[in-house]
Amino acid sequence: MIIVMEPGSSKERIDAVIRRIEDLGYGAHPIYGVERTVIGCVGHEDKSPLSQLESMPGVEAAIPILKPYKLVGREFKPEPSVLDFAGVPVGGERLAIVAGPCSVESRQQVLEIAHAVREAGAQFLRGGAFKPRTSPYAFQGLRGKGLEYLCEARAATGLKIVTEIVSVEDLPLMNEVDVLQIGARNCQNYALLNAVGQTKKPVVLKRGMSTLISEFLMSAEYILSEGNYNVALCERGIRTFETATRFTLDLNAIPVIKSLSHLPVLVDPSHGTGNWHYVEAMARASVAAGADGLMIEVHPDPKNALSDGPQSLKPEKFQKLVVEVRKIGEAMGRKI
Ligand SMILES: [Mn+2]
């Protein structure tokens, strides 16, 4: 249910409605607009008690939300969201470029890549310190040391850092991180989604490899329903019958999600293809299809990378990608 307040409603009237919503046992999620405030009510399925809100002073209308996801949907917030990712706007005119190694491998590796991607035009440095690997025998990440190196790279370059959280227990270690990433394998880890929702940190939520768009949006709803609205969705490829590429990058997801949700959509063509040869083409296609940003794996020595080497671009290839993507961006009215 969405409670639409009359234009120019006083703070007292808005607060009174929020209190009533909470007294009835629902969560209240106000959006304070320039002209009017709308309040999303979420909670148990029986919406009948909420109809009494319509008679409260300052309330213009109470409108039911028909979709299963509420706060992430366009019904609740028709205009696209421009998020604040540690001071960098995501979802606006400027494309968000997140780049860096799959895994943080050493201090020198991260610093070298950070300088290279910053120079090429990235605003965010990605790097996994905690790695959820398919095999328990594969490199699992440098953990705390990896986070330290990322912070050092931020201090040296000014890039904001994005790193994956794989477990609720690791949350206290993430205080210094600018943006939390929830990886494809944890897209439906509801305990983790709730815990991240209770923080105020920006989140990149990656789509699971077998997750429907409707399920993906419900996963985002978990985070928003806990009060954290700073969520960007990331398409990273789904599993299909095709084996020529590691995954099939679902570009359909971009216009579909953008029509259903106000949240920004990023695309990760590195995991989406699994092969560096195809990354630039799919990055261009993503921006042409309306993506709000890209997440790209970059490594100075892909042959010796500890994870995802075959899909990682060398810094000079990444630089070229940004040049090419910038051209497409300009045609779409977007800047880098
Ligand atoms: Mn990777």
Cα separation, 218 vs 259, whole angstroms: 15
Three-state DSSP at 205 gives strand
- CA-nearest of 276, 277, 281, 282 to 297 is 276
Provide the 8-state DSSP code for 235.
Answer: E
39 plus 136 within the same structural domain: no
What is the CA(307)–ligand 1 centre distance, in A? 6
150 plus 57 within the same structural domain: no
What is the CA(236)–ligand 1 centre distance, in A? 10
Provide the pLDDT for residue 236.
98
304 plus 264 within the same structural domain: yes
User: pLDDT at residue 215 above 90?
Assistant: yes
Centre a 10 Å sphere on the Cβ of residue 199 and count the other Cβ atoms it contains. Answer: 18
What is the CA(311)–ligand 1 centre distance, in A? 8
Q: What band does 35 get if pLDDT is binned at 50, 70 and 90?
A: confident
240 plus 102 within the same structural domain: yes
Cα separation, 154 vs 301, whole angstroms: 21
Provide the pLDDT for residue 51.
85
Q: Which residue has the higher pLDDT, 43 or 268?
A: 268
User: pLDDT at residue 45 above 80?
Assistant: no
Residue at 146 is within a domain: yes
103 plus 222 within the same structural domain: yes
Domain containing 112 — which CATH number? 3.20.20.70
- Using only C-alpha atoms, the chain has a radius of gyration, in whole angstroms, of 21
Tens of pLDDT, residue by residue over 228-254, are: 999 999 999 999 999 999 999 999 999
What is the CA(102)–ligand 1 centre distance, in A? 4
Mean pLDDT throughout 210-234? 96
Q: Which of 12, 34, 63 is the last residue of a domain?
A: 63
What is the CA(122)–ligand 1 centre distance, in A? 18
Provide the pLDDT for residue 47.
77
Domain containing 58 — which CATH number? 3.30.70.1140
| Number of structural domains the chain divides into | 2
Give the predicted TM-score (pTM) of the model: 0.93
Cα separation, 237 vs 227, whole angstroms: 28
What is the CA(25)–ligand 1 centre distance, in A? 42
What is the CA(297)–ligand 1 centre distance, in A? 7
Beta strands in the chain (DSSP E): 2-5, 27-32, 37-42, 59-63, 83-85, 88-90, 96-100, 124-126, 160-164, 179-182, 203-206, 231-235, 265-267, 293-297
User: pLDDT at residue 48 above 90?
Assistant: no
Cα separation, 320 vs 336, whole angstroms: 13
109 plus 14 within the same structural domain: no
The domain of 100 spans 83-331
Residues near 134 by Cβ (< 8 Å), separated by ≥ 6?
Answer: none
Maximum C-alpha span of the chain: 67
What is the CA(306)–ligand 1 centre distance, in A? 10
Residue at 75 is within a domain: no
What is the CA(239)–ligand 1 centre distance, in A? 16
Among 8-12, 257-261, 289-293, the least confident range? 8-12
Residues near 305 by Cβ (< 8 Å), separated by ≥ 6?
Answer: 101, 102, 103, 105, 299, 312
Q: Which residue has the higher pLDDT, 50 or 146?
A: 146
118 plus 161 within the same structural domain: yes
Task: Find the DSSP H helices in 79-212.
Answer: 107-120, 144-157, 190-197
What is the CA(93)–ligand 1 centre distance, in A? 27
159 plus 246 within the same structural domain: yes
Asked whether the CA dihedral 317, 322, 323, 324 is positive or negative, the reply is positive
99 plus 127 within the same structural domain: yes
Provide the pLDDT for residue 318.
98
Cβ–Cβ under 8 Å, residues 272 and 297:
no
